[in-house]
Each structure stands twice: as C-alpha cells, then as structure tokens.
Structure 1
C-alpha cells in the first residue's frame, strides 16, 4: 500500500513524534509498503494515512476527510493529546478521534483516559528500541549515575531528579546526568543554573544517537519524572538495555512497566525520588530486582512486536473504512 505518515515535527527534528514517524516508516517499508512522511496533507493520493497527534494534525485530518473520504485513517495519540489537549482543545482533538478508523495508544492504559465512544477504536502499539549491550564495567569514577533523557520541558519535569539529588546524604555518590534540548530559554537557564548550584547535576545538552546509547550502556539507573506521557520511548530504550528505571507513577509509565513494578514514585515528589535513589545506590538486592523487572518486560519493546502492532492497525483501519463504504 501507499501510506502517508503525517507528523507536525519537521525533518531534522529530534522530537518524539518525528522519531516515531521515522521508525514506523522503516518498519512499514520492511513489511513491503511504500511510505513517505509529511508535515501536512494537501489531497495527495494514498491507500492509508497515519497521523500523529490529534490536535496538531487536526487541519490535515479534516482536509483528508473532505478530499479523500474513502482513505482509511489511523491516528496515533500522544501524551499531550490524552492528558492535556483533549481537555484544553476538546473540539479539534475529539474531531480528529471521531474522523479516525483506528486510534493507536502507546501503552495499555490509554483507554482509561479517552472518551468512552472512542475506546473501541484503540489498538495498542508499543514503541520499540534496538537492543543495547550494557557495559560490564561502567566508567563512573566512583559515582552512582542516574540518567535523565528527553527534551527539557514542563511535561517531563526534567529537573526533578536534580532536586532529589540535593536531598541525599552527604556521603552519597549519586550523580544526575541529564541529556536533552531545552524547550525554551527559561528551561536552558534553569538547567545551567542548576548545574552551577548543584554539584551532583550535569546537563549534557542534546545528544546524538550514539552518545545516547553510550549513556544507556554505562548509567546505573534511569529516572523518568514526567507528569504526563503517552508511552515514552525512553522506557523502551532502558528496558532493551537492561537499565533499571525509577519512574513517576503515571498511567503512561505504569501502562508500560506494569502494576507490579517496584520503582515508582509520586509525580513531582523529589523526597520520594530521593528515597528511591538512596535505596538503589545502597541496596544491591533492590537494584537487581528492578533490573530483573525491566528484563521481563523488554520483549514488549522489540521492533518485531511494534511492526506487528502497526500491521494490525492497518488491517483494522482498512476493514473498517471498507465497511463504511458498503
């Protein structure tokens, strides 16, 4: 089939939506489909359209439905769609959901947070990551290294780990390594100011793929402190690397790691996070349990499983659109 993937993130962007669009393009091409990425839609012919982001892709979706009503449409719901924009911009966000034949959720609890009439459209597609072999002897200079990956922005609560590190005992060797592009100048100033004031914190800026892989390979633990997530790919990356995670207790993390995971802390609670960091640093049995738990869910995030989920979404969308036309 000829497939158009619409993402609001432009070429060269390292935003999550662009990375997802490019990864899905590769997986669908490997399955034999012709796929191209666009940031908008202007009536081009296609057999299927996949749009990322209900609110940001609203205009493109409306053009598609007006000009090509017969084309099956798959809409991938982002974290901001589910936990923010559908409440702040309900009319365009829900219009996009209504226009779609299939909704892709990136974790298995998405159904709890979208309008009931759209839940039957959901197909869960877990984002994948390449396998990374952990370093057997990480070069940490005696530190217990916690990495934080992702753009610096409010939704990620990106400096929560740095704040937690300030609360640790003086003997602690925890070091927070934060990698990501600041959302704006205020976030950049905050990161630079934190680095000057907090000897346990280093901001590395935006890293390339190889540098990110090196950080996953050598860190002792990952911290995901987001207040909202649609299903963060950094969870997939950490699990595939065998890197234990301390994660904010939100649906987007629980829907990937499971209810029994032992590394959750309350969102925005640096004291709870500090307690877990101290425990992970000093309790080898606890750190080993977290490592075993991420290893157990790691098969969820293979490229083969993600590709199978995408192909299922394609099949369902085509059948539903065909049924509407009969």
Structure 2
C-alpha cells in the first residue's frame, strides 16, 4: 500500500513530529508498505494518509479527503492540537471530522475529546531504541533538558530553578535544543551569565543527544503542553529518572501516581524536587522504580505491531 505521512515540520528541525514520522515510515516499510514523508502533500496518488498535527497539516488533510473521500485518513493529535487548537480553531476541528481515525499518543489524550471523537480515537504510545545508561559524572549531578526553545516547552523554567538550589547542590542542567526565535537564544545566553548551573548548547545530532542523556543522573521536562513526548520515551528506555511538569500529556506517559511531578510554571517547586532527587537516595530510587514500571509502554516492537495493526484494520473493507 502507498502511504503518505504528512509532518508540518521541515527536516531541518529535528523535533518530535519529525522523529515520529521517520520512525513510523521505517516500521511501515518493514511491514511491506511504500511510504513517503512530506511537509505538504504533492497530490500524487496514495492509498492512505497519516497526518501529524490537525491544524498545521489541514491543507493536506482537506485535499486528500476531497480527492480520495473513501481512502483511510489518520490524523494524529499533537500536544498543541489536544490542549489548545481543537478547542477553538475551525481548521483543526474540520481535520478531526474528516479523519477516518484519530490517534493520540498517550491515554490521557482521549480525555480531551468529546464522545463523538473518542469513539474513533486510538491510543498509540511512541517508542525509543534501547539506551544503555552510562556512569554519570561524579563531580556534579547532571540533568538533561531536551527540547527546542519555544513557549510551549516553558524552556527557561529549569534555569530559573537552578538559582533557587542550595549552595551545596552539585546539580548542573544541560539544555539541548534549537532556539526557534533569536529572542529565545538571547534569553538562554543571559541566563547562563546568572547561573553557572545552567548551560544551553543548542541543537546537536540525535546520536549525541542520546549520548548525553545516557550520562545523566536525571532528565527534566518542563512543558506547558505535550501530546506524548519522545524525550520521555528516550529516558524510560535508558533507565533515566524523570522530573516532569504535571500536565496531562506527561501524566499520560508516566502515570497518575508518579512521584516526580511539579506544578507547571513553578520554579520553586521544581528546584525543591531537583534537590530532593539529588540529596535523597530513597526518593531517587523510587523515581527509577516507577520509570522502570512504565518502560514496557515505549518498546519499539510494541509500537511497530500496533501501528501496522491499525493500518491493516482501517484499510480492510468492511464485510
């Protein structure tokens, strides 16, 4: 079957949607399908479309639905879709109506939808390749923050939290990700002047991201909204404990009883949680145990099987 995957992000920007599209294309090709990834549909014949992002992929979704109204169309609801756009944006809402099936990337995502949409929504947890944890540095407590610098990620909350840590803390946060605006880059550079515990290194190859994560004691995610963060999958597969903002998409990934949440936007609470993870071995061990219990959700083979089964199910004629 010829399948087109639409991701609104240029291949120059290696964000979560781009990584998801690349991974799914590989799984689908291994399943015997022909797959192309495009930012905007070129209108060449395809048997199925999988579109990431209801709002930003709207034009491709609309065109495909018009030209091939009987062909399967999967619309993947991202974090900004679920927690912002589908509530007010007409194009996002029409994308949902045109979809054969909707897809969310963690269980809490379905709770954002009305019943009419829930009945045509599947849940597919993303995955990451195994990551072998390395020995972290002994002279400091290394924390990885992975994500492009944009408002939805609340990118500087961790840097602000480092200013509130006790003097005896050895925490150092390495922030990896491209600044989507020059003002964001300026803010990151300014924060590095005030906090010796915070270093922004910009965008680096994915292999290097994984290497740095593998040498970390901890990963932190501060986002205001997430559909199902790839970086959480990476950390879980590397047995790296996580400190996370208590937003729906992260709770859907880590579970409602996870001990490592802080109120979104609260750097004081984040600083307290970071210090507790560094200074309290029992708490750090609890985070590791709880992360290990979620690891089975993000196994590559599980994601591959469920994606191929979904594609098969919606492409088969109804008897």
Same fold per superposition (TM over 0.5): yes
Query: Pairwise mapping of residues 132-281 of structure 1 onto structure 2 (< 5 A)?
Result: 132-135=131-134, 137-140=135-138, 142-281=139-278
Q: Are the equivalent residues in 2 in contact too, given 1:126–1:309 (CA < 8 A)?
A: no
Unaligned runs of 5+ in 2: none
Equivalent position of 1:108 in the other structure? 107
Deviation of 1:309 after TM superposition, in Å, equals: 2.1
- Which secondary structure does the structure 1 equivalent of 2:165 belong to? coil
Structure 1 residue 28 and structure 2 residue 28: aligned? yes
Give, in whole Å, the separation in 1 of the partners of 2:178 and 2:88.
25
Displacement after TM superposition at 1:292 (Å): 1.4
Q: Deviations over 1:11-52 (max 9, x none)?
A: 333122111111100011111111111122243212211111
Q: CA RMSD in A?
A: 1.3
Distance 1:214 1:39 in 2: 29
1:307 partner SS: helix
- TM-score in terms of structure 1 length: 0.95
Displacement of 1:78 in angstroms is 0.5
Aligned residue pairs, count: 319
Quick one: distance in 2 between partners of 1:230 and 1:113? 11
Query: Post-superposition, which runs of at least 4 consecutive aligned residues in structure 1 deviate over 6 A?
Result: none
Where structure 1 has 5 or more consecutive residues not aligned to the other structure, the ranges are: none
Whether the aligned pair in 2 keeps the contact of 1:104 and 1:313 (CA below 8 Å) is no
1:314 is matched with 311
- Distance of 1:11 and 1:244 partners within structure 2: 29
Shift of 1:10: 2.2
Does the 8 A contact of 1:27 with 1:303 survive in 2?
A: no
CA distance in 1: counterparts of 2:122 and 2:305, whole angstroms? 11
| Secondary structure at the counterpart of residue 10 of structure 1 | coil
Could you report, residue by residue, the CA deviation over 1:242-300 in whole angstroms, capped at 9, with x for unpaired residues? 00000011110110111121101110011111111111111111111111111111111
CA distance in 1, matches of 2:160, 2:152: 16
SS of the equivalent of 2:117 reads helix
1:85-100 mapped onto 2 (5 Å cutoff): 85-89=85-89, 91-100=90-99
Distance 1:38 1:261 in 2: 37
Distance, in Å, in 1 between the alignment partners of 2:315 and 2:288 is: 40
In 1, Cα distance between equivalents of 2:77 and 2:289:
30
| TM, length-normalised to structure 2 | 0.97
Residues 123-182 of structure 1, C-alpha deviations (whole Å, 9 max, x = no match): 1111110111111x3235x11111100101111111111111111111111111111001
Provide the residue aligned with 2:51 in structure 1. Answer: 51
Measured in 1, the distance between the counterparts of 2:84 and 2:35 equals 30
Cα distance between partner residues in 1 of 2:185 and 2:43: 40
2:39 and 2:27 map into 1 onto residues whose CA distance is: 19
CA distance in 2 between counterparts of 1:316 and 1:270 reads 45
What does residue 287 of structure 1 align with? Answer: 284
Provide, for residues 53-102 of structure 1, a one-character-per-residue CA deviation record: whole Å limited to 9, x for no partner.
1001111111111111121001111001111112341x110100010011
- Kept after mapping to 2: 8 A contact 1:43/1:68: no
Query: Counterparts of 1:56 and 1:115 in 2: how far apart (Å)?
Result: 21
